[in-house]
Amino acid sequence: MPVEEIRENNYDLSISRYKEIEYEEVEYDPPEVIIGKIEDLEREILENLSELKVLLGRGQELCAPCYHRSKP
């Protein structure tokens, strides 16, 4: 970078002033596909939450005395 060019740009050393920014076009799936993927993930989350609730319910039954101990 020539010093004269830096002076002409009032010592502005911003990269965008000296280097052209190249943008890449991003292609996305159609909205219907994205919505379908979201619905699949939501269904999986709900199934896992149901399973977790069952496990926690059993865990509380098995370990109920553990939750009632007094702390020193």
Using a cut of 0.75, tell me whether the model's pTM lies above it: no
Q: Give pLDDT tens digits for 5-52.
A: 878 878 887 777 667 778 899 999 999 999 999 999 999 999 999 999
Q: What is the largest CA-CA distance in the chain?
A: 79
Q: Give pLDDT tens digits for 50-61.
A: 999 998 887 555
Q: How far is CA 28 from CA 21, 25, 34, 35, 36, in A?
A: 22, 10, 9, 12, 14
CA–CA gap between residue 21 and residue 18 (Å, rounded): 9
CA–CA gap between residue 5 and residue 12 (Å, rounded): 10
